[in-house]
Amino acid sequence: MISAMKFEMMYRARMLSSAIVMRAMKNDTKDAMDTYRRNMFLKNLKHCRFEAGYYDKNKKPLYTEIDDFEVIDKDFFIKDKSCYTVTVDKSDHLGVHYIVLRENELTKTLQQLRIRIIGYLIFSFILMGIVGYFLGRLFLRPVREQIESLDKFITDTTHELNTPISAILMTIQSLKGVEPKKMSRLEASAKRLSTMYSTLTYRLEGHEEASEILCFAQIVEERASYVKELIDAKHLDIELLLTPTEVFMSKISAYRLIDNLLSNAIKYSDVGDSILITLKDNVLKVQDTGIGIDEKVQSDIFKRYQRENEERGGFGIGLNIVLAICKKYKIKLGLESKKGEGSTFILTFPVIKK
């Protein structure tokens, strides 16, 4: 648009220059001498929509429609939101050396054009966002349906498991005359099933309990004692270094938090490894000397159905539950791990304001 305006203005200036030359070439020489008649001619000179100004070689105005303008030797420029073109007639016909044209609408047009372009861009982004949203939902529908189907399957399965697990645990307590080793193995397996059932039920049904002030050291001791058979079955050494610490959360959430961290430590430890649980200054650390977690996948292990090691089994939701509970109760969750050297999960509990 600026280039087109420059071309049009310079063309019109040359047309005015030609008209002045044609007038000067007439036999009426008084036009060159009579200032009044010359100015009337310049005033009545036909030109298009541009404002015009005529100046002598000293840059003094002979006749001008342009106020407060100082002639500069530049054929085209933009100043104060107006476009100017300066055409030089070295022959000084009728005393006119400079022909200046001014146009005032281009900058307004450009501003309107910018606004329209920005408006179209915003509209396009909104339209693309809406289209992208619906296309995303369309393309992700099979994935969502698979997840919902898996959730439904696990939910139905957990309901079916509840009765036999309870029956097994009750039967174990009443058994007599069974070798202690076999009894311990049977009880460990039953408790592992019970822990898995509780985890699945918590995640899929979303049990809610009122929060209360808990002595977390007692919770840790209780849950570590509950899974003692699982720990003994793999000949793991477990050490608890606990300082009495109060936390504000529901008891069932506290159970699931410890159960999943302990279950994870047991699952990914080899026979003869050790587990260390420390609780001090509102910081809980669950450390194992197991297989560790590759740094490349550490950011993904808290995702739902994500398993770092396919050989160790599990549903891949335990650490996802840990993350969900930490978010709910504003517990800072951290992980330190190295492949082949074990893992340490670090939970920092908020201080209870009294």
Indicate whether 58 belongs to any domain.
yes
Task: Tell me which of 104, 129, 161 is where a domain ends.
Answer: 104
Q: Are strands 274-280 and 237-242 parallel, antiparallel or unpaired?
A: parallel
Task: Examine the domain organization and report whether 96 and 216 are in the same domain.
Answer: no
- pTM exceeding 0.75: no
As given in the structure block, the two tokens for residue 134 are 């619906």
Q: Tell me if residue 279 falls in helix, strand or coil.
A: strand
Q: Which residues are 347's β-sheet partners?
A: 284, 333
Whole-number Å distance between alpha carbons of 106 and 114: 12
Gyration radius (Cα) of the chain, Å? 44
- The answer to whether the beta carbons of residues 269 and 306 sit under 8 Å apart is no
Task: Tell me which of 53, 72, 104 is where a domain ends.
Answer: 104
Residue 82 belongs to what domain range? 2-104
Indicate whether 220 belongs to any domain.
yes
Q: What's the total number of domains in the chain?
A: 2
- The answer to whether the beta carbons of residues 203 and 317 sit under 8 Å apart is yes
Whole-number Å distance between alpha carbons of 221 and 229: 14
pLDDT digit string, tens, across residues 131-171? 999 988 888 888 888 878 877 777 777 666 666 766 776 77
Indicate whether 280 belongs to any domain.
yes
Q: Give the pLDDT score at 31.
A: 45
* CATH code of the domain covering residue 64: 3.30.450
Q: Which residues are 308's β-sheet partners?
A: none
Q: Give the pLDDT score at 28.
A: 53
Whole-number Å distance between alpha carbons of 320 and 298: 13
Task: Examine the domain organization and report whether 216 and 336 are in the same domain.
Answer: yes
Which DSSP state fits 350? P
Indicate whether 135 belongs to any domain.
no
> Which residues, at least 6 apart from 336, have a Cβ–Cβ distance to it below 8 Å?
343, 344, 346
Q: Tell me if residue 84 falls in helix, strand or coil.
A: strand
Indicate whether 6 belongs to any domain.
yes
Task: Tell me which of 104, 135, 160 is where a domain ends.
Answer: 104
Task: Examine the domain organization and report whether 221 and 339 are in the same domain.
Answer: yes
Find tokens 């003994």 and name the residue: 232
CA 238 to chain centre: 42
Q: Give the pLDDT score at 200.
A: 66
Task: Examine the domain organization and report whether 229 and 343 are in the same domain.
Answer: yes
Q: Which residues are 241's β-sheet partners?
A: 278
As given in the structure block, the two tokens for residue 354 are 């009294």
Q: Give the pLDDT score at 303.
A: 72
As given in the structure block, the two tokens for residue 29 are 């020489």
Indicate whether 191 belongs to any domain.
no
Cα three-residue angle 211-216-219, rounded to 5 degrees: 95
In 3D, which of 122, 201, 93, 186 has the Cα closest to residue 156? 201
Indicate whether 303 belongs to any domain.
yes
Q: Give the pLDDT score at 92.
A: 85
Indicate whether 123 belongs to any domain.
no
Task: With a cut of 70, list the residues of the chain below it in pLDDT.
Answer: 27-33, 158-163, 165-166, 169, 173-174, 176-178, 185, 192, 196, 198-208, 304-316, 354
Task: Examine the domain organization and report whether 220 and 100 are in the same domain.
Answer: no
* CATH code of the domain covering residue 326: 3.30.565.10
